[in-house]
Amino acid sequence: MHEPDPAMPLGALAGIRVADFSRVLAGPYATMMLADFGADVIKVEPPAGDDTRHWKPPVDAAGEATYFGSVNRNKRSVVLDLTNDRDLAEARRLAASADVVIENFRPGVMDRFGLSYEDVRAANPGVVYCSITGFGAGAGAGLAGYDLLVQAVGGLMSITGEPEGEPAKAGVALVDVLCGQNAVAGILLALRERDRAGLGQRVEANLLQSLLSALTNQAASTLATGHAPRRLGNQHPSIAPYAVFPAADRDLVIAVGNDRQFRALTWALGIPALADDPRYSTNEARVQHRDLLRAELEAALAGRRAGHWVAALGDAGVPAGLVNDVAEAIAFADGLGLEPVVELGGSRTIADPIRLSSAPPAYRTPPPRLDEHAGADWLPRDLRDAPEKGPRA
């Protein structure tokens, strides 16, 4: 760990220097979370910049790609062409000084530049070196790690979508985000171990295993029964009613998790006899007769607007909510006092989801312009005037 830069607000990760060689989503998401808590993240970009700088439209008020902006606040950007000897030497010097190095190239690429874990560790034994891949560094090393591909081969699409429709992906690159969160957890675990043992280590996270881990109950069911689950649309394989239902004007979700909530639901909808019907009196029975139950509930819901039902069910202690679009979802969180939006310059992004009572995230700078911190200013203070300085002990 380095002395924190006095120009930077202190945070839980103040004094941690991150050499960020990652691009697109999983890696940048991880390093933004580290930066939000005070880590000094230096984003190393190729001359053309991170690919997501060019993923337009949409753009923010400054004309920058919102995709890039969504995962790159609180960082500094420097262009280093790793095929250029001078730039490569700078990259190696940065890696040798860093507490954390993170990269998401295909396995073997960093080796070619002398920036592999073994290369960096030789100069910097305390380094925590995080590699993010699509399918690991073994037999899957040659496979392209695109989120859509992983959702397909990882089983998520097989359980997403309507039963008679085609397999569907999630509406966001969810596996990249999950993998980025796993990378953060791994980095923090390795830093904690470094505090204890004094040495760094390699951290590996891959998209496929991140998805398989996130399949939780669906994977457990498959392992226990030998049968892969099928698509159920918005219904749950083990709970009913737990789905999307139409009301008079729009859709809402009803998420009943136990028999008490189901009885409260029937009273709120004016159909209390259903709670004593043997086809619906237990969750197992409701799952078995889910189609019949759905018809009963839809008939009751059709007479009033969704907002009415959400309020009535909430008063009855039944979990329910509108199916919001993204703008409505942000407004909903804002109405709950969660302060979901961060405004920095011309950039508006979603706040870090982690809150600490004594060392909260800090939002210091908007996503950097490409090579914004070129020249001596991008260098960590301990390296600016010491071009021949050896690696950090």
Taking the C-alpha atoms of residue 60 and residue 347, their distance in angstroms, rounded to an integer, is: 6
CB neighbours of residue 71 within 10 Å: 26
Give the angle 294-297-302 at the CA atoms, nearest 5°: 120
With helix as H, strand as E and coil as C, how does 175-210 read?
A: HHHHHHHHHHHHHHHHHHHHHHHCCCEEEEEEHHHH
What is the rounded (10 degree) CA torsion for 47, 8, 348, 99?
A: 50
**Length of the chain, in residues:** 393
CA-nearest of 257, 258, 229, 256 to 245 is 256
Structure tokens at 344: 């920095």
Taking the C-alpha atoms of residue 239 and residue 285, their distance in angstroms, rounded to an integer, is: 10
Q: What is the DSSP string of 305-350?
A: -HHHHHHHHHHTT--EEE---HHHHHHHHHHTT---EEEETTEEEE
User: What counts of helices (H) and strands (E) characterise the chain?
Assistant: 15, 11
Side-chain-facing half-sphere of 393: CA atoms under 13 Å: 0
Beta strands per DSSP E along the chain: 17-20, 40-45, 75-79, 100-103, 128-133, 201-206, 242-246, 251-255, 320-322, 341-344, 347-350
Catalytic residue among 60, 147, 176, 352: 176
Whether 352 is catalytic is: no
Taking the C-alpha atoms of residue 351 and residue 181, their distance in angstroms, rounded to an integer, is: 15
Identity at 163, one-letter amino acid code: P
Q: φ and ψ at 341, to 5 degrees?
A: -110, 135
Cross-strand partners of 322: 252
Please list the active-site residues: 176
